[in-house]
C-alpha cells in the first residue's frame, strides 16, 4: 500500500547554497505525523513548493519517498492562494463575513490549481494506493480524483472550522465545494460541531441524506468523523530535556527578572484575537496594580499572508495596543509585554513554554490550536496554567484542566490571569496532569491510527 499525501504546504523546503541543494524539514502537526510514515513505508507527498515556480520539481527524500511539487504561475498564487483560499474561504469559514471577498477570478484560479493537483496525483497513482487530501485549499480534488476513475480510498481532512449553513450559503460556489469534498470516502474534522455543520450543509444545499457518521450522496456512502489532530508528544518531551533548551530557559528567566511569566504564540491573523488578548492583559494590570513589575508577558506573533491588506491592518493595530500598554504601565527595568513579530523554531518555543507560568491561548475562533498542546507537553514538572478560549476547537478536549474564557470579554481574561497567578501549586499540578493525560493519550499517532485506520503508524 502506497500513501499519497496531498497538501498545499510542503514537508521540506529545498534550500540552495553555493549551487548545492539542502532539505530543511518544515514544522507542523501534519508533517510530524506523516513524514516518518512515508520515510518508513514509502509514498509520495504532493504539494506547492516555491512561489511562482514554473517548472516541475521532484525531490527524492529516500529511495521510496518522493516529494512532488506542483508548478504554479504567479497568477495561480494570486488567485488560488491569496485570493479564493485566503480572502474567501478562510474568513468565511472563520465567521468573518465582513472580511470575505467574492471575486470570480479567484474562483477560476482556485478551480484551475485544484485540477493541477489532481493531475499530479494521477501521475503518481498506482492501484492499491491510499490518498489523503488536506484542507480548504484543495476542496475540489477528491471529486476530481473520483472522476479520473480512482477507486481506492480517498481521505480528506479539513483542518479549519467548517461553517454553519447560514454562513456557507453566502458562498456562490457552495455546491461545488461540497460536491468536491464528497468525492472523498472519508472526511475528517476536529470537532463534532464541525461535522454537524458539514452534514447540515450537505443536506440543505445538496439535498443529501445523513445519519450519525455517514452522508448518502449520489449512490455513495461517505464517512464523516470528528478526530482532532494531536502533536508529537515524544518530540516535545525530548526538546525540553535538551541541555541547550534547558539552559536558554534558565537564562531567560533570570534575564526577565520577574516573578511570573506568561506566553502567547500565534500567527498574526485576525482570527487569533491578539487585540482582545492585549486588552485583557491591559485590564489585568489596571485592575491588579500589585502585579505591575512582577509579571511579564511574551507574545510571539508569526508573520503570515503579509501581502494581504487585512493582515497589514492587524499588524498596525496590535503594534498600537502593545505600545499603549507599555506607555501606560511600563516602568524603568520592567516591560509588561515583550512582543516579537517573527517565526521561532521549536527549540526556542520549547524554552519559552518551559519558562511560562501560564499560557494565554485566546483565538476568536480556531479549527483546533496546537499551541495549547505544545505548552502542556513541554511542562515536564506539571506546573503551569493553560488559559484557553472557549472558541478554540481544542477546548472540547482540554475543557477539564484549562481555565476557559470568552476571548471577547477582557474582564474574563484579566480574571483568568489573576486566578492563574493565585492558584495553589497543588491545583496547578492537578489541572496540568489532567491536560497532559489527554494530550499524551490523543497524540499524533492516535490521530493517525483512528483516521487512517489501516495505515501502520
193 located within any domain: yes
277 located within any domain: yes
58 located within any domain: yes
**244-261: per-residue pLDDT in tens?**
999 999 999 999 999 999
Q: Are residues 200 and 257 in the same domain?
A: no
Strand partners for 216: 209, 221
142 located within any domain: yes
CA 421 to CA 423: how far, in whole Å? 6
Q: Are residues 225 and 270 in the same domain?
A: no
Dig out the grid coordinates for 149 from the structure.
Answer: 476513475
Lowest pLDDT segment from 33-42, 109-118, 448-457: 448-457
456 located within any domain: no
Q: Are residues 188 and 243 in the same domain?
A: no
Dig out the grid coordinates for 260 from the structure.
Answer: 511570573
**187-221: per-residue pLDDT in tens?**
999 999 999 999 999 999 999 999 999 999 999 99
91 located within any domain: yes
The reported pLDDT for the residue numbered 427 is 98
The reported pLDDT for the residue numbered 20 is 65
457 located within any domain: no
Q: Are residues 161 and 192 in the same domain?
A: yes
Q: Are residues 165 and 152 in the same domain?
A: yes
SS (H, E, C) 243-273: HHHHHHHHHHHHHHCCCEEEEEEEECCHHHC
408 pLDDT band, cuts 50/70/90, is very high
Q: Are residues 198 and 258 in the same domain?
A: no
Q: Is the dihedral of CA 317, 321, 326, 327 positive or negative?
A: positive
65 located within any domain: yes
Q: Are residues 196 and 241 in the same domain?
A: no
**341-399: per-residue pLDDT in tens?**
998 989 999 999 999 999 999 999 999 999 999 999 999 999 999 999 999 999 999 99
30 pLDDT band, cuts 50/70/90, is confident
Question: Is the entire prediction scored with pTM above 0.85?
Answer: yes
Strand 214-217 versus strand 220-226 pairing type: antiparallel
Q: Are residues 265 and 185 in the same domain?
A: no
Among 326, 352, 356, CA closest to 260: 356
Q: Are residues 95 and 145 in the same domain?
A: yes
Q: Are residues 284 and 196 in the same domain?
A: no
For residue 351, what is the domain's CATH number?
3.40.50.2000
Domain range holding 125?
3-230+445-451
Q: Are residues 56 and 131 in the same domain?
A: yes
Cβ atoms of residues 418 and 284 within 8 Å: yes
Q: Are residues 302 and 424 in the same domain?
A: yes
The reported pLDDT for the residue numbered 457 is 42
Residue length, the chain?
457
Total domains in the chain come to: 2
Amino acid at each position: 500500500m502506497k500513501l499519497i499525501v496531498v497538501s498545499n504546504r510542503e514537508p521540506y523546503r529545498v534550500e540552495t547554497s553555493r549551487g548545492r541543494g539542502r532539505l530543511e524539514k518544515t514544522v507542523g502537526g501534519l508533517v510530524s505525523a506523516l513524514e516518518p510514515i512515508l520515510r518508513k513505508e514509502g509514498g509520495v507527498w504532493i504539494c506547492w513548493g516555491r512561489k511562482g515556480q514554473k517548472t516541475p520539481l521532484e525531490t527524492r527524500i529516500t529511495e521510496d519517498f518522493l516529494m512532488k511539487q506542483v508548478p504554479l504561475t504567479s497568477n495561480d498564487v494570486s488567485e488560488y492562494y491569496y485570493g479564493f483560499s485566503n480572502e474567501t474561504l478562510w474568513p468565511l469559514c472563520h465567521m468573518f463575513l465582513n472580511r470575505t471577498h467574492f471575486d470570480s477570478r479567484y474562483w477560476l484560479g482556485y478551480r484551475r490549481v485544484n485540477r493541477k493537483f489532481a493531475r499530479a496525483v494521477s501521475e503518481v497513482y498506482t492501484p492499491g494506493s491510499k490518498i489523503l487530501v488536506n484542507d480548504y485549499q484543495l476542496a475540489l480534488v477528491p471529486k476530481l480524483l473520483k472522476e479520473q476513475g480512482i477507486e481506492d480510498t480517498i481521505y480528506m481532512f479539513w483542518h479549519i472550522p467548517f461553517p454553519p449553513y447560514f454562513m456557507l450559503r453566502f458562498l456562490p460556489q457552495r455546491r461545488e465545494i461540497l460536491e468536491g469534498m464528497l468525492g472523498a470516502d472519508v472526511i475528517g474534522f476536529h470537532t463534532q460541531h464541525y461535522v454537524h455543520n458539514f452534514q447540515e450543509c450537505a443536506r440543505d444545499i445538496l439535498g443529501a441524506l445523513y445519519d450519525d457518521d455517514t452522508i448518502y450522496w449520489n449512490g455513495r456512502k461517505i464517512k464523516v468523523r470528528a478526530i482532532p489532530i494531536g502533536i508529537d508528544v515524544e518530540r516535545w518531551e525530548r526538546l525540553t530535556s535538551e541541555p541547550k533548551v534547558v539552559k536558554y530557559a534558565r537564562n531567560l528567566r533570570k534575564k526577565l527578572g520577574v516573578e511570573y511569566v506568561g506566553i502567547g504564540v500565534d500567527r498574526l491573523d485576525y482570527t487569533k484575537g491578539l487585540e482582545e488578548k492585549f486588552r485583557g492583559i491591559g485590564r489585568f494590570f489596571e485592575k491588579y496594580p500589585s502585579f505591575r513589575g512582577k509579571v511579564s508577558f511574551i507574545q510571539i506573533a508569526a508573520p503570515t499572508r503579509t501581502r494581504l491588506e487585512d493582515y497589514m491592518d492587524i499588524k498596525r493595530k496590535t503594534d498600537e495596543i502593545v505600545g499603549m500598554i507599555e506607555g501606560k504601565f511600563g516602568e524603568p527595568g520592567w516591560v509588561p509585554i515583550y512582543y516579537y513579530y517573527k517565526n521561532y523554531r521549536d527549540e526556542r518555543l520549547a524554552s519559552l513554554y518551559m519558562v511560562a507560568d501560564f499560557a494565554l491561548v485566546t483565538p476568536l475562533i480556531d479549527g483546533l490550536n496546537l499551541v495549547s498542546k505544545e505548552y502542556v507537553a513541554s511542562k515536564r514538572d506539571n506546573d503551569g496554567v493553560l488559559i484557553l478560549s472557549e472558541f478554540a476547537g481544542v477546548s472540547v478536549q482540554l475543557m477539564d484542566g484549562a481555565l476557559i474564557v470568552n476571548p471577547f470579554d477582557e474582564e474574563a481574561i484579566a480574571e483568568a490571569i489573576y486566578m492563574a497567578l493565585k492558584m495553589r501549586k497543588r491545583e496547578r499540578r492537578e489541572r496540568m496532569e489532567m491536560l497532559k493525560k489527554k494530550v499524551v493519550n490523543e497524540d499524533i499517532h492516535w490521530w493517525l491510527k483512528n483516521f487512517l485506520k489501516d495505515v501502520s503508524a
